[in-house]
Structure 1
Amino acid sequence: MLKENIIKSKSFLFSVKVVTLYKLLVSEKKEFVMSKQLLRSGTAIGALVRESEHAESRQDFIHKLSIGLKEANETEYWIDLLNASDFLDHDQYQNFKKDIQEILRLLVSIIKTSKQK
C-alpha cells in the first residue's frame, strides 16, 4: 500500500484555496496586482512538487523542491502584504498563514533530509 504524499496533497489543496481567493480578490475587492502575484507563486508550489516526483536525480529532486520553497516564501510575503493592506480579513489571513507555514516547514524538512542521504 502506498504511503500518502502529504506535501503533494497539501500543496494541491493550497493551490485550490489560492485560486478561490484570487477570484474573490479580483471580483469583489477589485485587487489585480498582488492577487495575480499570489496566484502565480501560490500555485507554482504544487506544480514544482509534482515535477519533483519525476526528477531525474536526487539533485534534480532537491533543486525542484528548493524552487518550490522559494515560491512558498514569496507566497507568504504576498499573504502578509494583502493582510497589511486590508485585503484579507483576520480569519482569511490566519487560515492562509497557517497553511503556508506548514508547507514551508514540510519543504524545509524534505530538502534537509534529502541532502543528508
Structure 2
Amino acid sequence: MTSQELKDRTKAFAKGCLKLLIAESRNSKLFWHIEGQLIRCSTSVAANYRAACLAQSRPAFTAKISIVLEEADESIFWLELLEEELEIKDRKGLQELKKEAQELTNIFASTRKRMQSGSGKS
C-alpha cells in the first residue's frame, strides 16, 4: 500500500467517525465525552500519518508512526465504548469503523516493528 493510499484511508476513517457522530447528536454527558475523544483520536490518526510521511529521519518517522498506532488503537476503545454503552442507530457503520480501526492498528504496528528492526524505509 502506498503512502498516498494510507493518507486517503486514514482520512476516510476520520471522516467516517465524524459522520457517525454527527448522525447521532445526543445530549448526554457520556455521549459528549466519547464524541470528543473519538473526534480527537480518529483525526489524529490521519494528521499524524501525514506528519510521519514528512519525517526527516528514521527515528522521527518511527516516533510519529508510534503516535499513529496509539491513536488508532484508542479509536477502537472509544468505538467499543460507544457500542457497549449507547444504542447507536448505524450499527453497521460502527462495525465497519471498528474493523477499519483494527486494520489500521495492524498496519501501523507492523510498520513500527519493521522500522525498529531496521528493515523498513523512512
State the TM-score, normalized to the length of structure 1.
0.87
Q: CA deviation at 1:91?
A: 1.4
Cα distance in structure 2, aligned partners of 1:11 and 1:79: 16
Gaps of 5+ in 1: none
Question: 1:25 deviation in Å?
Answer: 2.6
Once residues 115 and 106 of structure 1 are traced to their aligned partners in structure 2, the CA distance between those partners, rounded to angstroms, is 14
Q: Note the alpha carbon deviations across 1:35-88, whole angstroms, 9 max, x for none.
A: 111000011001000000111210000000101111111111100000001243
Give the TM-score taking structure 2 as reference length: 0.84
Counting matched residue pairs gives: 113
| Residue 109 (str. 1) matches residue 110 (str. 2) | yes
Q: In the aligned structure 1, how far is the partner of 2:17 from the partner of 2:108? A: 18
Pair 1:67 & 2:76 matched = no
Residue aligning to 1:92? 93
C-alpha RMSD of matched pairs (Å) = 1.6
Specify every segment of 5 or more residues in structure 2 that has no aligned partner in the other structure, as ranges. Answer: none
Work out the CA distance in 1 between the residues paired with 2:44 and 2:10: 9
